[in-house]
């Protein structure tokens, strides 16, 4: 271990270590912060909270009118010791993020619904919270052992053709949380929130 007799060298080394720590904490990409399952209106729903940090290339394309599509995917599989695992529920939802130059607002649309935001940070904060389609209660039995999965990714297939080539050859457009899996027990299901 090096010894720092000069206080200036020690401070520079400490500053360098802190810079590496901060830059890794704010790395570009998508990661999963937390997940849960809830019982709402007689059906189960998987929820995930993601961390989304867009890099410079994606932010520039967005500010120049390129629509960015994100796909959230949720699935539940029942583990079986005698055969392959069985997928009992799956849902995918596409969200479009775009910038309206005339109103200077960011918008997120999911199907026919849309929301407007004053800043990109506000829009990303709303996009970070994803929920699955309702899962029928009879799908998850008390006796079963289940694995839930959540994923959020940028859909490069819906980018303009010129950007698709760029996305396939470079890392700037590789925004994917990968599948985050966790064990799911029907006993862990949280009751609905009282409003």
Check residue 194 and report its DSSP letter: P
In tens, the pLDDT along 22-59 reads 333 346 789 999 999 888 888 889 999 999 999 998 99
How much of the chain exceeds pLDDT 70, in percent? 81
Calculate mean pLDDT across residues 4-32: 53
In tens, the pLDDT along 169-186 reads 777 788 899 999 998 876
Calculate mean pLDDT across residues 152-174: 82
- The predicted pLDDT at position 193 comes to 59
DSSP codes, 123-181: HHHHHTEEEPPPB-GGGS-TT--EEEEEEEEE-GGGS-HHHHHHHHH-STT--B---EE
d(CA 55, CA 49): 19
Question: Between 157 and 28, where is the model more confident?
Answer: 157
And the tokens for 46? Answer: 């998987």
Average pLDDT, the chain: 82
Kindly tell me if the per-residue pLDDT of 189 is higher than 80: no
Q: Could you tell me the pTM of the whole model?
A: 0.77
Which one, of 134, 139, 171, lies nearest residue 156 by Cα?
171
Spatial strand order in the sheet of 29-40:
29-40, 43-53, 129-131
d(CA 89, CA 94): 17
Residues in the chain: 195
Which one, of 138, 183, 146, lies nearest residue 44 by Cα?
138
Kindly tell me if the per-residue pLDDT of 118 is higher than 60: yes
- The predicted pLDDT at position 33 comes to 95
């Amino acid at each position: 271990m090096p010894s720092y007799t000069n206080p200036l060298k020690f401070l520079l080394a400490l500053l360098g270590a802190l810079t590496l720590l901060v830059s890794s904490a704010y790395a570009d990409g998508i990661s999963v912060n937390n997940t849960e399952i809830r019982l709402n209106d007689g059906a189960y729903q998987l929820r995930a909270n993601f961390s989304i940090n867009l890099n410079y290339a994606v932010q520039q394309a967005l500010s120049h009118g390129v629509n960015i599509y994100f796909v959230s995917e949720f699935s539940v599989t029942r583990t079986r010791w005698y055969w392959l695992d069985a997928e009992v529920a799956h849902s995918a939802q596409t969200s479009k993020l775009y910038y309206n130059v005339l109103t200077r607002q960011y918008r997120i649309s999911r199907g026919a619904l849309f929301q407007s935001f004053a800043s990109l940070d506000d829009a990303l904060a709303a996009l970070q919270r994803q929920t699955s389609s309702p899962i029928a209660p009879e799908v998850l039995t008390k006796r079963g052992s289940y694995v839930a999965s959540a994923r959020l990714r940028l859909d490069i297939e819906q980018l303009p053709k010129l950007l698709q080539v760029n996305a396939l050859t470079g890392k700037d457009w590789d925004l994917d949380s990968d599948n985050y899996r966790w064990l799911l027990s029907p006993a862990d299901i949280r009751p609905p929130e009282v409003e």
